[in-house]
């Protein structure tokens, strides 16, 4: 790796030096020294179309020639209108409006503020509490951060947080008791929501927030069948809005455009980002039900929120090109199909490994949980930072993937998150397995 020149960039980890990215092509990334990396996690589950897609690039260029940017207090734009129409035509039942922001945290922030404003405008201002889940990440802005489950992320900012409490996520590998059926387990953890609403006061909670498939915090963990149906029932019973965070698992990543389609329920509000722009432009969206929109329309007529780049025409144009490829180009179905093949290959290669506890996920969103003891599911001592060693060795082997660690309530330890581009071919599955195998053999 070439030595980094004197830098004025403020990196996240001030003590590490990273290679400089030079270019990307299809499923590969190349650094300035020409080293090739398979983009095994699409960055952070972003690059669903891979790199250098000529259609998306052409769309962006032609949009720049027309108009790059105009502020939404003066104008709407064709790209924003068309993108909203297309997203809503594929969205869960009842979802009717789209609000475009610049990323996932902003989408979650908008979701939380809209939910709270809805109750303020409909005469229930006492609803000021959010319930979220322990294994979760919803972003790094203050509202989104409060709802995320990582206590260490929240700790320095605790005095600034929205009132939030955290119940268990639905995490079968870690949570289901040996004598319990999967169905009973799903109901038991869903019912934690009802107990928490009752504990806080039946009219005090404005939203329940969950990722349909937990991403970075736990490594592609879907809920068991029936869990979200029960969650929906509880939210309806107590008048709590259901906000689904599909920032990571949405936009086809799990094999359906919205991950919640596989749960047979519709949220009141859903946040999407990452795959929405596929990395070609920064964009996220908060989508809400007709009912919520109507309440604001009938009330103040003004969503008390906004950013300079809301509805950014170039970002919306890029996103429309991405969404068209996902929906009309058959890429979502392809993601489901390749995902099943990737799961099979991972199970075949690592399913019996003494330190691989679980291989899971949906579509091209797969998690591998690393344990010290397969029988007891005991994680490695966090001090060993197994995920960091895996990240280093996979990267050295030419595979960029997303290992994460950190226990939540002494539960899940290290895991690897795979989220490759949907355009990958069969032989790329072999490449992932081989490179992962090299790193696993070195570290474990």
Minimum separation from the CB atom of position 211 to ligand PLP (A)? 5
* Pick 221 or 444: Cβ nearer ligand PLP: 221
Which neighbouring-strand residues pair with 28? 25, 38
In 10 A of CB 58, how many CB atoms?
11
How far is residue 145's CA from residue 164's CA, in Å, rounded to a whole number?
A: 10
Minimum separation from the CB atom of position 105 to ligand PLP (A)? 3
* Pick 105 or 343: Cβ nearer ligand PLP: 105
Minimum separation from the CB atom of position 102 to ligand PLP (A)? 8
Residues that bind ligand PLP (CB under 6 A): 44, 103-105, 108, 137-139, 211, 215-216, 245, 247-248, 273
* Pick 311 or 444: Cβ nearer ligand PLP: 311
* Pick 144 or 326: Cβ nearer ligand PLP: 144
Minimum separation from the CB atom of position 274 to ligand PLP (A)? 6
* Pick 105 or 296: Cβ nearer ligand PLP: 105
* Pick 153 or 442: Cβ nearer ligand PLP: 153
Minimum separation from the CB atom of position 256 to ligand PLP (A)? 17
Minimum separation from the CB atom of position 96 to ligand PLP (A)? 22
* Pick 121 or 219: Cβ nearer ligand PLP: 219
Minimum separation from the CB atom of position 179 to ligand PLP (A)? 32
* Pick 245 or 268: Cβ nearer ligand PLP: 245
Minimum separation from the CB atom of position 279 to ligand PLP (A)? 11
**Phi, then psi, of 193 in degrees rounded to 5:** -65, -45
Residue nearest to ligand PLP (CB): 104
């Amino acid at each position: 790796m070439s030595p980094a020149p004197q830098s004025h960039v403020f990196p996240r980890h001030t003590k590490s030096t990273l290679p400089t990215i030079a270019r990307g092509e299809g499923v590969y990334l190349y650094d300035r020294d020409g080293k090739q990396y398979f983009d095994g996690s699409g960055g952070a589950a972003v690059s669903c179309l891979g790199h250098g897609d000529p259609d998306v690039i052409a769309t962006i260029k032609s949009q720049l020639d027309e108009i790059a940017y105009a502020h939404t207090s003066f104008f709407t734009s064709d790209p924003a209108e068309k993108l909203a129409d297309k997203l809503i035509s594929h969205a869960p039942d009842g979802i009717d409006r789209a609000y475009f922001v610049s990323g996932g945290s902003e989408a979650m922030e908008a979701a939380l503020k809209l939910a709270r404003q809805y109750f303020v405008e409909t005469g229930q201002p006492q609803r000021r509490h959010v319930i979220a889940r322990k294994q979760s990440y919803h972003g790094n802005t203050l509202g989104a951060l409060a709802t995320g489950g990582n206590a260490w992320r929240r700790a320095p900012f605790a005095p600034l947080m929205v009132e939030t409490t955290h119940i268990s996520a639905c995490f079968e590998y870690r949570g289901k008791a040996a004598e319990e059926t999967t169905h009973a387990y799903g109901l038991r953890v869903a019912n934690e929501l009802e107990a928490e609403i009752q504990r806080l006061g039946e009219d005090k909670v404005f939203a329940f927030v969950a990722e349909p498939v937990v991403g970075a915090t736990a490594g592609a963990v879907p809920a068991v069948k029936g869990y979200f149906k029960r969650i929906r029932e509880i939210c309806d019973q107590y008048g709590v809005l259901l906000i689904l965070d599909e920032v990571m698992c949405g936009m086809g990543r799990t094999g359906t455009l919205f991950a919640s389609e596989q749960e047979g329920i519709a949220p009141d509000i859903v946040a999407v980002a990452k795959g929405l722009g596929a990395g070609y432009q920064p964009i996220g969206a908060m989508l809400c039900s007709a009912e919520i929109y109507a309440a604001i329309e009938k009330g103040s007529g003004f969503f008390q929120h906004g950013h300079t780049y809301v509805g950014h025409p170039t970002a919306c144009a890029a996103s429309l090109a991405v969404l068209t490829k996902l929906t009309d180009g058959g890429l979502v179905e392809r993601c489901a199909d390749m995902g099943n093949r990737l799961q099979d290959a991972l199970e075949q290669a690592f399913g019996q490994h003494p330190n691989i506890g679980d291989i899971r996920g949906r579509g091209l969103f797969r998690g591998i949980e690393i344990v010290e003891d397969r029988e007891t599911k005991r994680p490695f001592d966090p001090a060993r930072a197994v995920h960091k060693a895996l990240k280093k060795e996979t990267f050295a082997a030419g595979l960029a993937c997303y290992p994460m660690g950190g226990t939540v309530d002494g539960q899940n330890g290290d895991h690897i998150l795979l989220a490759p581009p949907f355009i990958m071919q069969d032989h790329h599955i072999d490449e992932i397995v081989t490179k992962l195998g090299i790193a696993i053999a070195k570290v474990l």
